[in-house]
Structure 1
Amino acid sequence: MALSLPKPFLESTETEFSGLMETQIGTQGLKKQILKRGTSWKTPCVGDEVQVHYSVCVQDGVYFDSTRDRGTSFGFKLGQCEVIKGLDEAIATMKKGERAIFTVPPSLAYGEFGSPPLIPPNSTLVFDVEMLSWNTIRDLTGDGGILKKIVREGEGWATPNDADEVLIKYNARLENGTVFSESHKGVTFCLNDGHLCPALSAAVKTMRKGEKAELLVKSLLQIGNGDTRIDDDIPSYSKLTIHVELVSWRSVIDVTRDKKVLKKILNVGEGFDRPNEGSLAKVIYFGKLQDGSVFERKGSNEEPFEYICFEEQINEGLDRAIMTMRKGEKATVTISSDYEAAGMVSADSVLLYEVELIDFTKEKPFWKMDTQEKIEACERKKHEGNALFKAGKASKYVEFDHSFSDDEKCHANALRLSCNLNNAACKLKLGEYREASTLCTKVLEVDPMNVKALFRRSQAYLRTSELEKAEADIKQALTIDPNNREVKLEYKELKDKQREYMRYEAGIFSNMLSRMG
């Protein structure tokens, strides 16, 4: 649609602005002269709602239309053919607060026919345009199904991820103005789970903290299967308008990338460094069951709990979560039954931890140590090895005692399994593979579905070239826990070793044939 033009307005001419630096936009002769620079680096995009002041004249003529004279700005959607093509292309280059002169050739204006009586055929137009503001509009689905208009810019650059927990305020209305759903006090939900309709989650994922937006949802067919009811007399093709504000969100990290260990950040930590395997971590945490009962509590502000990361001193899932934290960070960690300690809770339960990483110390890599540091590190490792060896002997204290009650037997059984698994890990490091496989077999006799025992026994079999036994254990472990990364890596190593052995056998067979020939 062409720009509508009211009665002629005789005022200043384009010659006032002669001598200004002129640049060319595109390849069709559109030219620009900046009178006043903008206040930002941003420019509007196709679909945005822009508000401008303008004056226009035929080149070498007088201005015949001006919004400044009328006292009202002019608004339109950029790139939607609501104005002449030259003005669309020109305003797309402008920043907020910028004022510029644009020379628009006939091919980008009214062409060979003009727009009589004000614009003769083949006229070049001159626009004096000031960019006042614009509302960003995005087509989130690419088909007009969900249009988003930014009403107020948010803070920073970050936007929520799929698993994050968001707090929003919103108001949703049907075409006839009926309030469909609203929450002025705010509602909290996980973006993966959604709320009200898929369009809401899709839009919130593009928003920044504090941002306000207006959504136009094409039809109620996109509402989804929520609890909200739609009156029978409202057509399913009705449009929905949602005003939404992203108040805040809490980042949720999928620690194991299989949704079995989820960390929700309550307070962001400092710096960028995180603990790694072998780090000495100082933490405060407590664990509770789904019914709210606390089953474990470690550390305090006066005396944080210290442990070595990835040395099987705490719940494996919690350990992995802490290794994603920064100093001073507070978080809640939700752990599925796959990562629960043996005998602690039932197999179908979930553990909930609240944890704060007070501080941590990373062990210096050996290649950065001086001679004295290497000797001290060797002494520490020797003492750690002695402690592990003694832990392996600890199982004898709970082997056979007929005076144990049922609860004590259950606890003793869990301790015995843990001791045997720790001892097996020690034997693997010492290269005593037969002893390691024997200890794992003891665990599996009591708990045939124990993934750690299957994994460590397969490691022992692999080192002694008992490839068939190793494959059987790995396959069983993968059947129980198909997403276990360590078991998958072990399976890959097994396959590599099997291929190497087949090449070795093929070579021997080839040599035998050559000698026989």
Structure 2
Amino acid sequence: MPVITEVDEDVKLRVGPKGDGPDAAAEVVKDDVSEETSKGSRAMKIDGSGDDDDDDSDMPPLESFDAADDESSADKATKKKEKKIVIEDEEPQKEVDEDGWLDVLGSGELKKKVIKPGLGKDSRPQRCNWVVLNVKGTLEDGTVFEEHKDWRIILGDMETVCGLDITLALMEKGEIAEIVVPARLGYGDQGKEPDVLPKAKLHFYVELLDTYPAKDESDLPFQERLSIGDAKRERGNFWYSRGDYSNAAHCYRRALDFLDDMGLNLSESPADLQLLLDTRLKVYNNLTATQMKMKAYDAALKSVDFVLKVQPNNVKALYRKGKILADQGNYSEAVSVLKKALKLEPDTKIIQQELSRLMWHKEREDRVERAMYKRMFGGSNSSDAQESSKGSRFSKIRNWTLVVGSAVVAAAAVGVAAYRHLGAI
């Protein structure tokens, strides 16, 4: 971060190296300042160090030093308006030790040493650029575990270990460097069979042959898009198998960028187009599984629905959708989805087991719901209460009908008896 010094009137700040070190210091130049005006002047000065980040948020608060305590607020405001600040910045250099090692992250673990200089900073690759490399990876005892010639990868796409991916951005075109990668930024606690043991420190000898911006995926030839997309799918599978779900998800998303059918020439053969679609559906299925591992259920549901939109009878997708819905607490819909999957593959035990588990959860949920209705309606659930109410109304109507009918019959009997009696007279 450059150092900023603020003074009144005309001021020029030049930010440059301090001594032989990497820190930046501010030099303040002020012309024609007389002794008569020096008493009334006010300066504010901040000293800082030359960090890589030139964000002003890390600067300490400004400290003001007033020459006179009784100076009026109006005078201070007037002088503040007269201040002019000019900053000439230079990018600070990262510190290299006496043996030529650059501490990339500042922790002393990830290090880089230039063996042959490159063409300058302007030739460094940017994220998402293609880089062409010669790479040799060795263990501390010199065992070679990895070697590539004219290896073409996209920077930032996790096509190599994290430590190497980070450090490549600091290399220049034509540069040859040795890079030391700690285990946590390499193959970690698992290692990589057959040569890389768990927690192994790695050494890479890298030559950056070329770097250039990547074309838009839709501008690439069909076969190249298919090849790159499938390679990224396989790389995603590699990270998934290691339990690194974040990197796996990143690789799967990048694979989909290349396997998208936007911009495709429909004159491609139907077999090729079908191959592209099938590969894309594989990626979506794998992305769904990864998002489930990350408990990103909403995203996983969108991914699996894309598969089912194209292949509604894809059993693997139906099974995963059922699992997602269950994890979201939607047991009714989950049971319905798994029943469809089981109908398609009735002998698949994992679907049978999951369906049995969800049926038990659904029944328990239904019992809880019935008990809640029972408490709400005073000892009976809603349907029972409604039936009871209907029965009570019917019973009352029936009783009144019987009373009225009895009265009518009695009146008729009295009338008949009277008629007979009068006839006899």
The reply to whether TM is greater than 0.5 is no
User: TM-score range, shorter-chain basis?
Assistant: 0.3 to 0.5
The two structures have a TM-score, normalised by structure 2, of 0.35
Higher strand share: 1
The two structures have a TM-score, normalised by structure 1, of 0.30
Higher helix share: 2
Whose radius of gyration is greater, 1 or 2? 2
